Amino acid sequence: MHPKLNISKVMKRILLIGIVVLVAVTGFAQNTTKVKTLKEQQQVLNLTSKLNLLKIEYEKEKASYNDLNVKVASVNATANAVTTAFTTSDAKSTVSDAKSTIKTLKETEETNKELAKAQKKLGKMEKQIAKLQARIDELNKRVEFVDQ
């Protein structure tokens, strides 16, 4: 055998091994970015699902708030009417009226507290929805940028 021929075979093998390694590394790098992109898309879908559930819960709470708001308006109107109807001609009836007025005012106070609590809960839910939406938008931008 000729010595030059033997070196040539070794060089061909080294070159072939180098090409195979380069192709494997390139393929692995592409798979890594695809997996990362798919994980981010999955995260976006999970957040979107949470956002939709939160929006449904928000709409239910909003409907409840609207019903409570109507009730509060009615109770407040009743309380305003009751507090102006006192007469001093009969002490017994005045005491009875005062007790019923106290009861009405306590009911009014309780319903107003419920309304304030519901309003606060709606505000918190709106903040959660905005926060989730911002996170989803950020992830969508990242996924779109990677896709380009």
One-letter amino acid of 117: K
Q: Which of 112, 51, 55 is nearest to 80 (CA)?
A: 112
Is the C-alpha dihedral spanning 14, 15, 20, 24 positive or negative? positive
Residues of the chain with pLDDT under 70: 1-7, 27-31, 83-88, 90-91, 143-148
Between the alpha carbon of residue 34 and those of residues 13, 24, 26, 52, 73, the distances in Å are 32, 15, 12, 27, 57
| Tally of CA atoms within 13 A in the half-sphere of 121 that contains its CB | 16
pLDDT on residue 36: 78
One-letter amino acid of 15: L
Torsion of CA 112, 56, 54, 59, to 10 degrees: -30
- Residue pair 122/12 in contact (Cβ under 8 Å)? The answer is no
pLDDT on residue 1: 46
pLDDT on residue 28: 65
pLDDT on residue 9: 74
pLDDT on residue 23: 77
C-alpha to C-alpha distance for 118 and 13, rounded to whole angstroms: 75
Task: Determine what percent of the chain falls in helix, strand and coil, rounding each to the nearest 5.
Answer: 95, 0, 5
pLDDT on residue 81: 75
- Residue pair 111/79 in contact (Cβ under 8 Å)? The answer is no
